[in-house]
């Protein structure tokens, strides 16, 4: 279990670093576009489209690491007064529902990626194949699934020991 948890943590951290790198690229590109537009009257072509690609990537690739760290919004006020075993049961059920939902998102994201792959559609102005940014959806959704499994196993252990 510890080995699996370490692999999951490492994978989610790597994806989060990729997302942070995308944010850094987005920041530099935006700054260069503004400088080019206002000082040289030459904006960078395709900046808007590149932002449309990078922004979902930032969110989706950092999703698993945020879940692993417990950084998502929770209903702590409602469940904090419950017994530890009851709280663990609620967390288990919620994570099971999330696992099913992210599994479905992964599945449909792969379908959409394959559809764009077969259609050979391109993003206008920059000529990037549409499947490249689309692939971030199943990657991000798939990355959170093992994190949810680890958290479900923790909740299950809490349910068994009673606290």
Which of 16-20, 98-102, 141-145, 154-158 shows the lowest per-residue confidence on average (mean pLDDT)?
154-158
Average pLDDT, the chain: 88
Rounded to an integer, the average pLDDT of 95-106 is: 95
3-state secondary structure of 123: strand
In this predicted model, what pLDDT tens digit does every residue of 21-49 receive, in sequence order? 999 999 999 999 999 888 888 888 888 88
pTM for this entry: 0.82
Structure tokens, 125: 């102005």
pLDDT score of 16? 93
Higher pLDDT, 100 or 38: 100
Q: 132 CB contacts (<8 Å, ≥6 apart)?
A: 53
Q: Taking Cα atoms as reference points, which of 53, 52, 47, 63 lies closest to residue 141?
A: 63
**Tokens 């489209």 sit at which residue?**
49
Number of compact structural domains in the chain:
1
- Please report, rounded to a whole number, the percentage of residues in the chain having pLDDT higher than 70: 94
- Interatomic CA distance for residues 86 and 83, integer angstroms: 5
Q: How confident is the model at residue 135 (pLDDT cuts 50, 70, 90)?
A: very high
Structural domain for 7, as ranges: 2-161
Cα–Cα distance measured from residue 99 to residue 105, given in angstroms and rounded to the nearest whole number: 10
Span of 59-63, 145-149, 157-161 with lowest mean pLDDT:
157-161
> According to the model, what pLDDT value does residue 103 have?
95
């Amino acid at each position: 279990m510890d080995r699996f948890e370490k692999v999951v943590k490492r994978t989610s951290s790597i994806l989060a670093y990729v997302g942070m790198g995308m944010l850094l690229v987005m920041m530099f590109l935006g700054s260069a576009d503004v400088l080019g537009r206002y000082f040289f009257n030459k904006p960078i072509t395709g900046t808007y489209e590149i932002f449309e690609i990078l922004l979902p990537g930032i969110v989706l690739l950092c999703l698993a690491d945020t879940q692993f760290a417990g950084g998502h919004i929770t209903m702590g006020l409602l469940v904090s007064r419950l017994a530890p075993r009851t709280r663990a049961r609620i967390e288990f059920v919620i994570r099971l529902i999330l696992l099913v939902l992210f599994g479905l998102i992964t599945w449909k994201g792969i379908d959409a990626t394959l559809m764009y792959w077969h259609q050979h559609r391109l993003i206008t102005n920059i000529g990037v194949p549409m499947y490249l940014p689309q692939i971030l959806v199943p990657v991000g959704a798939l990355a959170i699934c093992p994190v949810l499994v680890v958290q479900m196993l923790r909740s299950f252990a809490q349910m068994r020991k009673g606290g």
